[in-house]
Amino acid sequence: MSDNSVKLHRVLRTTPEKLYRAFLEPEAFARWLPPNGFTARVYEMTPEEGGTFRMSFTNFTTGNGHSFSGTYLELKPHSRICYTTKFDDPGLPGEMKNTIDIQQVSCGTEIRILQEGIPEVIPTAGCYLGWQESLCHLARLVEPGIPE
């Protein structure tokens, strides 16, 4: 695994339950995870320890994309999600480990993300920027309190 990693921290005006669901429901994950300029498609998602997922990102401008898959290592409802990610492209070797810690705080829910093992060919700063964009999308999904 590469030494490249990024850490992110954010507090969102939502509940731990809603934030946790945003990572494990395919439609939600595909909506908020892709950074600006990309779309996503989830082909498979079995959110249980040992379960797997497979999805892809597509650049909306060029139509080029990349697919990737992973395995859920740890799922603690409403508090922790840990999963691996591996690109299908041999030019993006290695396996990343993503750890998401979720904790209720007085004004909402704190999320801490650690992504380790980012392939050497991906600039860490670019990965960090992509996560920042994704977290803005996540906030727009989970913060509204729309009544039924």
pTM: 0.93
- Cα maximum dimension of the chain: 46
Q: How many domains does the chain have?
A: 1
Polymer length of the chain: 148
In a domain, 23, yes or no: yes
> Residue with structure tokens 């920027």?
129
In a domain, 121, yes or no: yes
In a domain, 17, yes or no: yes
In a domain, 55, yes or no: no
In a domain, 97, yes or no: yes
Print the domain residue range for 116.
Answer: 5-36+74-142
In a domain, 132, yes or no: yes
* CA–CA gap between residue 111 and residue 14 (Å, rounded): 11
The residues pairing with 44 across neighbouring beta strands, listed in sequence order, are: 54
Domain with 24 in it: what CATH number?
3.30.530.20
In a domain, 113, yes or no: yes
User: Count H helices, E strands: the chain?
Assistant: 3, 7
Amino acid identity at 26:
P
- pLDDT tens by residue, the chain, 148 residues: 567 999 999 999 999 999 999 999 999 999 999 999 999 999 999 999 999 999 999 999 999 999 999 999 999 999 999 999 999 999 899 999 999 999 999 999 999 999 999 999 999 999 999 999 999 999 999 999 888 7
Q: How many CB atoms lie within 10 A of CB 60?
A: 12
In a domain, 45, yes or no: no
- Report which secondary-structure segment, H or E, holds 109: strand 108-116
Quote the DSSP letter at residue 35. Answer: P
